[in-house]
Structure 1
Amino acid sequence: MTEHPILVTGGTGKSGARVVSQLVRKGVAVRVGSRSAEPRFDWTDRGSWDTALDGVKAVYLVPFEGDLLTRPFVRRAKELGVERIVLLSGRGVDVPGYAGENSVAGRILGDGDGDGDGDGDGDGEDAVRDSDLQWTIVRPAWFAQNFSEGFFLDAVLAGELRLPGGDGAASFVDAEDIAAVAALTEDGHAGQVYELSGPRAVTLAEAVAEISEATGRTIRYVPLPHEEFVAELTAQGWPAADAEDFADDVGPIRRGMDSHLSDGVQRATGRPARDFSEFVKSAVASGAWQG
């Protein structure tokens, strides 16, 4: 595997950058898939796919958040000699009712229509399963890093996290654990679906309380009804469809569908998943909330 570079799409993102780092530490040749890399990789420019895939035998595939491009990309990768795909999917893609009826994530990651029936018509998991390549699917819960470098960072810095999550809990998973699973290069992971979570579930209120205690900041969580949350986002200039989609993404937390624990980190790596408190300590040490 080390004789050929591993292409990491989304190679500068939350999970991709960590996959790159962990592979480099193992001495594995890596090709960062991004528009600023050399060779350049741009999901929207299919002419860049071939150069990025040249000589590649394995790919960490972070689906494009836009057009449905996973299936054509996997098809082209196979034509160019790729043998293994590790797909970043998401929790709940196989659970009817988890995602909203018009969920973008459901279309990109799952079976295309979000009904969880596994009927093979989707762009994400279906595309790699149908490819006849060696595949591994990684289904993480909510990233803990959403609080430090993602969706929730600005709200945390502002001192108020307003979400339609009710009093539900989520078993947030550390992106370092996601990368540790995705960066495994030894045999034995083909055909595996790894559901990843942290070792305990925390409510949104508990999460910001831990961050408050560790940083000395005053941060509070304000649960909002779905409609009020959407209205606030649209008043801030969000397109209505994007606001609805964000609210739908948070909905499973409110409905109690994200609190269960998954054993994928332990199964794949042989060690326990990192606790949310460990993530908080690491984020504080890195200066994530000094802004």
Structure 2
Amino acid sequence: MTEHTGNVTVVVTGASGRTGSRVAQAVRAAGLDVRAVSRAQGFDWENPTTWAETLRDADAAYLAYPTDVGSPEAAEAVGALAREAVGLGVRRLVLLSSRGEERARPAEDALRSSGADWTIVRAAWFSQNFSEGPLVEGLRRTGELVFPGGEVREPFIDVRDIADVVAGVLTSGDRYVGDVVAVSGSRLLTFGEAVAEVAEASGRELTYRAVSPRAYGEVLSGFGVPGEEVEFLVELFGALLDGRNSYLSDGVRQVLGREPRDFSEFAREAAAAGVWKE
């Protein structure tokens, strides 16, 4: 892609998910045409026969694998889809990856070797994991977050900043082709400190209870999560939450020229929307 001149169509995968929905909004706000796709729109990462119709006549695509980009399935699917995209003339591809997750590197390598004009956005732990997804129910129903985060400090990033970075990359011509852009929030917080900020914003008494990854796996099993998925998450959290991500990245400032949204801003806005009401 050259500098944006209008009439550019971007395929946004995972359009019903945490990042995809916001990427679609940010890309549209940047003046690009959006083709937002998910299973509901007939696109399925597990069914390659759905890919060509989704990609045809597009100029770029945002790739967000639906579970974990570190899974073996992700590397195979990302590589195959990227090659098909390039074959259809969609060379500009942006992949959402995970900062600090070594198991995500095969998926990144698959994108690199596809012939695409690629950019990889490596994100820290999402702020929105506290307001959307499985962690929310515990806070809402019991007032307690049970999680294997220990006292590890994380630079939680607002997903809206990830979306803005993706839009910025796609509208900057070739500036970030072949680059890895690492993004994080502006400060480090433990999970306990993050829950305390959520409690202050929501006006509720909320607590955090640290458990081992294995104990957390038992909690997930009790909720009916399949055993294979439990084992994967236990291994993933045991690796990612070991302090390796306790540092800041400047990708938001690099691409957007501003500081990331602060976690407290996220907490106030989510609380005002009633996310953590009993």
Relative to the length of structure 2, the TM-score reads 0.89
Of 45, 52, 55, the residue aligned with 1:53 is 55
**In structure 2, distance between residues paired with 1:248 and 1:70:** 22
Answer whether contact 2:45 2:65 (CA < 8 A) is retained: no
Partner of 1:243: 230
User: What displacement does 1:253 show?
Assistant: 5.8
Residue type of the partner of 2:272? A
User: What displacement does 1:27 show?
Assistant: 2.2
1:152 aligns with 2:135: yes
1:110 aligns with 2:105: yes
Residues 1-291 of structure 1 correspond to what in structure 2 (within 5 A)?
Answer: 1=4, 2-37=6-41, 40-65=42-67, 67=73, 68-94=76-102, 106=103, 109-111=104-106, 124-158=107-141, 159-184=143-168, 185-187=171-173, 188-252=175-239, 254-290=241-277
* Runs of 4 or more above 4 Å deviation: none
User: What displacement does 1:285 show?
Assistant: 2.7
**In structure 1, distance between residues paired with 2:213 and 2:202:** 29
Answer whether contact 1:169 1:253 (CA < 8 A) is retained: no
Structure 2 unaligned runs (5+)?
none
Q: Tell me the C-alpha RMSD between the 2 structures.
A: 1.7
- Can you list the C-alpha shifts for 1:176-204, whole angstroms capped at 9, x where unaligned? 00001111212211112111110111111
**In structure 2, distance between residues paired with 1:186 and 1:236:** 44
SS state at 2:264 partner: helix
**In structure 2, distance between residues paired with 1:265 and 1:217:** 31
Number of equivalent positions:
264
**In structure 1, distance between residues paired with 2:99 and 2:254:** 17
**In structure 2, distance between residues paired with 1:280 and 1:64:** 25
Answer whether contact 1:253 1:259 (CA < 8 A) is retained: no
Residue type of the partner of 1:207? A
Answer whether contact 2:82 2:116 (CA < 8 A) is retained: no
- Can you list the C-alpha shifts for 1:231-275, whole angstroms capped at 9, x where unaligned? 232233323332232233333464222221111111111111111
Structure 1 unaligned runs (5+)?
95-105, 112-123
Q: More helix by proportion, 1 or 2?
A: 2
Answer whether contact 1:136 1:189 (CA < 8 A) is retained: yes
In structure 2, do the counterparts of structure 1 residues 253 and 90 end up closer, same or farther at CA, with 3 Å as the change threshold?
closer
Answer whether contact 1:144 1:279 (CA < 8 A) is retained: yes
**In structure 2, distance between residues paired with 1:209 and 1:155:** 15
**In structure 1, distance between residues paired with 2:164 and 2:222:** 40
In structure 2, do the counterparts of structure 1 residues 227 and 93 end up closer, same or farther at CA, with 3 Å as the change threshold?
closer
**In structure 2, distance between residues paired with 1:213 and 1:86:** 36
Between 245-254 and 149-158, the greater mean CA deviation after superposition: 245-254
**In structure 1, distance between residues paired with 2:129 and 2:91:** 32
For CA contacts below 8 A with separation 6 or more, give which structure has more relative contact order. Answer: 2
**In structure 2, distance between residues paired with 1:255 and 1:266:** 26
Residue type of the partner of 1:168? V
**In structure 2, distance between residues paired with 1:260 and 1:283:** 25
**In structure 2, distance between residues paired with 1:221 and 1:236:** 19
Relative to the length of structure 1, the TM-score reads 0.85
Residue type of the partner of 1:46? P
**In structure 1, distance between residues paired with 2:253 and 2:92:** 22
Residue type of the partner of 2:112? R
User: What displacement does 1:167 show?
Assistant: 1.3
In structure 2, do the counterparts of structure 1 residues 249 and 151 end up closer, same or farther at CA, with 3 Å as the change threshold?
farther
- Can you list the C-alpha shifts for 1:86-125, whole angstroms capped at 9, x where unaligned? 000111134xxxxxxxxxxx2xx322xxxxxxxxxxxx10
**In structure 2, distance between residues paired with 1:27 and 1:268:** 17
Answer whether contact 2:101 2:240 (CA < 8 A) is retained: no
SS state at 1:131 partner: coil
